[in-house]
Amino acid sequence: MWIVGNGSIMAQRICKVAQDALYAGMSVVKNGARLGDVGAAIQAVVEPERFSIVREFCGHGISNEFHHEPQVMHYGKKGTGFELKTGMTFTIEPMINQGTWQTKILPDEWTAITKDRKLSAQWEHTMVVTDNGCEVFTTRPEEDLSFLTQ
């Protein structure tokens, strides 16, 4: 996620909250955690900031197919959902909106916009579950993910 040009204060804020939400979700990933833990951690960052979480799109497993089970929802209840096991690979990619969580697919059947046409932001990482956390495959050189090893 990058802002082209300076971007409005709201654009900068929603991008930062989306990144913080991704990191919150990643921080709970480890062997034995549940997908509901990931979603709940993301919600705990997004909703107090008065943004909404898109429901129509989610993270996904990575296997012999690109979009594979499990579906990784970006909202949820702690202690619920699929149990994570060491070696599982998947994405966490919360998409958050300034207004409503609802989206609309344009006639090209690819472009997604918010139904109310307000701002949206999304960050994504692909990772593998380890015994004590996760290893991230998509880290950018300038990105500090040291919080994952604490």
User: What CATH number is given to the structural domain containing 56?
Assistant: 3.90.230.10
Q: Quick check: is 52 in a domain?
A: yes
Kindly report the pTM of this predicted structure: 0.93
34 in Cβ contact with 58 (< 8 Å) = no
pLDDT tens digits, residue range 36-94?
Answer: 999 999 999 999 999 999 999 999 989 887 678 899 999 999 999 999 999 999 999 99
| Domain span holding position 130 | 9-139
pLDDT tens digits, residue range 4-25?
Answer: 898 999 999 999 999 999 999 9
d(CA 140, CA 120): 22
What is the average pLDDT value for the chain, to the nearest integer? 93
- How confident is the model over 116-120, as a mean pLDDT? 95
